[in-house]
Amino acid sequence: MDVWLRIMAVVLAGASAVSYLTFGPYFSPDTVNYFHFAGELFNASFWSGIYAPLYPFLLFCLTSIPGVSMFTAAHLLILAQYGLGLLFLFKLGNTLSQYQRFQLSSRSSLTSLLLICYHTWWSFRIVTWAHADAGFYALLIVWFYFMTKNFQNPSPKNRLVFALLGAVLIWLKPNGFVLVPFFFLMLVLDRDRKKWLIPLGFLSGSFLLLRLAVPHQLLDTHLQDGLNSGFRSGGLDIFASNLGAFFKTSLGFFVSDLLSDYIPSGLAMLGGGLLLALLAYLALAEIVKGIGLASVFYLFGWVYLLCLLVFQQIIGFEEVNYRTLFPFFLPMSWYIWLKLLNDRRPHRISALALAALLCAHTLVGQVWLFKREEVNSLFAVERLKESRLMGELDSLGMDALGMNIHFFSDKPATLGLLLNDPSVSHYHPLNEFVRGKNRGLPEPERERRFQKMKEDLEQGEAALVLFGKTELADSLAGVHGLVVRNFGEGTVIYADKVVPEP
């Protein structure tokens, strides 16, 4: 068994390396916002009310080094975070094996299983994302390692490092605040309360400092609106939707999330309810049996899941997916491996079968990624920085006019990264991100926005940059007063009145 697990771990690590060397970091609209936040870190920024500041601060520090662009900084951070996570997974595997008193074969198998999970499809997409989630993921692994050390040997040194890491986590993502209810639960369940009391004090102090330094105004607004509305009208619909999304995402951990999307909503909701009930039963069983290290991993994942569902319910969001659930998946996967490799009653065949399923799912995903015509590759965007297209935008002075001209594009995130402008809009959007989910726009609203874009374009209040859609460029080429410039990388369309005077 161990040989097969090692082979799968090496194959997945190799596939991840090839994919990353080809595409580099993955980006999304959040990446545009983070980059802009990093550039405006010490100025009044809209994003300071939405995002925790540590990831933009790290980007800012790296870009202060001569010759390091924001793209390079994101790339370096991902490599550093990946290496940090990998190192502490090895250390965690060794520490867990000693604590569980595993035999040599089980120790090797556990390390391989930890590495397989680290390179699975859902994890790979988090680790290689130019986003605070990647840093949160890496630091969470380090935090779990020192939590394990503190649980195993609650020395002052282990307790201090463990407490400091917990305090830092919430500066990366507000999700880190879930440690507060988790610590309170451990204070109730664990006889040795000192190992949890000091980290709770550090975390509380860190949270208060964060609130003073960077008030999360949008978070306050969401919470206040949700509480005032009594958990909002239509709350049952939101809960049912999130239950269904939880079930589909959990199933997508092992099999293709594209396939799980075909599950009918009613069946997914029922599956989510049953899965939630099973998790509650297992949590109760772990508590009754007594708190061991595997129980701590399980209870962390359980507390995080409950906090996520309750928080989403309060603010009326439907954002339950692999990006919001990975702090649940991570410790739960470790809990499963520890249970299956228990030397008193090992279930190695089950562990091997699950690992093979994860491996197959990931390899299919990697092949699918290479076959995609468009990949949100930060390397590809960085190459555009030196293109003739960007040269044209610079020569027209559009960077300088960007404060007055609104940009539209068929790839708004790509153009937003090129111009460091998070306000770039899609010229004819099919969907709109509302309450944590992309929701389809009615056709009349789509057409209204499209016509408004054309009016702004003709009046010199907007510019359109297309990386495809040549038929739209052709149709606008005949409009009086519009300039259409074609390049190999894309097309720039603007009113001739925006061209600066010589």
462-466 and 491-495 beta bridge pairing: antiparallel
Do 37 and 51 meet the contact criterion of CB atoms below 8 Å apart? yes
3-state secondary structure (DSSP) of residue 78: helix
CA distance 142 to 148: 10
3-state secondary structure (DSSP) of residue 29: helix
- Nearby residues of 220 by Cβ (< 8 Å), 6 or more positions away: none
Tokens representing residue 170 in the block = 């919430």
Residue 79 pLDDT: 96
Closest to 38 measured CA to CA, from 62, 57, 66 = 57
Closest to 338 measured CA to CA, from 5, 496, 15, 109 = 109
Give how far Cα 465 sits from Cα of 167, 376, 454, 462, 483, Å: 43, 17, 13, 10, 12
> What pTM, to 2 d.p., does this model score?
0.92
Number of C-beta neighbours around residue 435 at 10 A: 14
Residue 408 pLDDT: 92
Give me the residues of the chain with pLDDT under 50, please: 230, 399-403, 501-502
> Which of the 8 DSSP states describes residue 462?
E
CA distance 289 to 280: 14
Domain ranges in the chain are 1-141, 385-498
Residue 396 pLDDT: 61
CA distance 112 to 81: 20
Residue 440: strand pairing partners: 431
Q: Which helix (H) or strand (E) holds 380?
A: helix 378-384
Number of C-beta neighbours around residue 270 at 10 A: 15
462-466 and 406-409 beta bridge pairing: parallel
Query: 26's torsion region: left (phi>0), alpha (psi -120 to 50) or beta?
Result: beta
- Nearby residues of 105 by Cβ (< 8 Å), 6 or more positions away: 1, 2
Q: What is the largest CA-CA distance in the chain?
A: 82
Residue 42 pLDDT: 76
Give how far Cα 299 sits from Cα of 69, 111, 139, Å: 41, 22, 19
Task: Give the position of tokens 């709109």.
Answer: 432
CA distance 305 to 159: 25
Angle at 83 between CA 79 and CA 87, to 5 degrees: 175
Residue 402 pLDDT: 45
Count CA atoms closer than 13 A to 206's CA, side-chain side. Answer: 25
Q: Which helix (H) or strand (E) holds 404?
A: none
Task: Give the position of tokens 């999130």.
Answer: 242
Number of C-beta neighbours around residue 379 at 10 A: 16
CA distance 502 to 499: 9
Burial code (b: 16+ CB inside 10 Å, e: under 16) for 304-340 equals bbbbbbebbbbbbbbbbbbbbbbbbbbbbbbbbbbeb
Tokens representing residue 427 in the block = 């010229």
Tokens representing residue 165 in the block = 């890491």
Condensed to tens digits (0 to 9), the pLDDT of residues 361-380 reads 899 889 988 888 788 999 99
* DSSP string for residues in 271-285: HHHHHHHHHHHHHHH
Which stretches of 370-449 are assigned E, i.e. beta strand? 406-409, 425-426, 431-434, 437-440
CA distance 116 to 12: 7
* DSSP string for residues in 184-225: HHHHHH-S-THHHHHHHHHHHHHHHHHHHHS--HHHHHHHHH
Torsion, CA 168, CA 143, CA 205, CA 183, rounded to 10:
150
> Which of the 8 DSSP states describes residue 377?
B
Number of C-beta neighbours around residue 34 at 10 A: 23
On the 0-12 / 13-18 / 19+ scale of CB atoms within 10 A, 425 is: middle
- For CA atoms 8, 10, 15, 17, give the dihedral sign: positive
Helix and strand element counts for the chain (H, E)? 23, 7
CA distance 486 to 470: 9
Number of C-beta neighbours around residue 258 at 10 A: 11
Residue 499 pLDDT: 55
Residue 6 pLDDT: 93
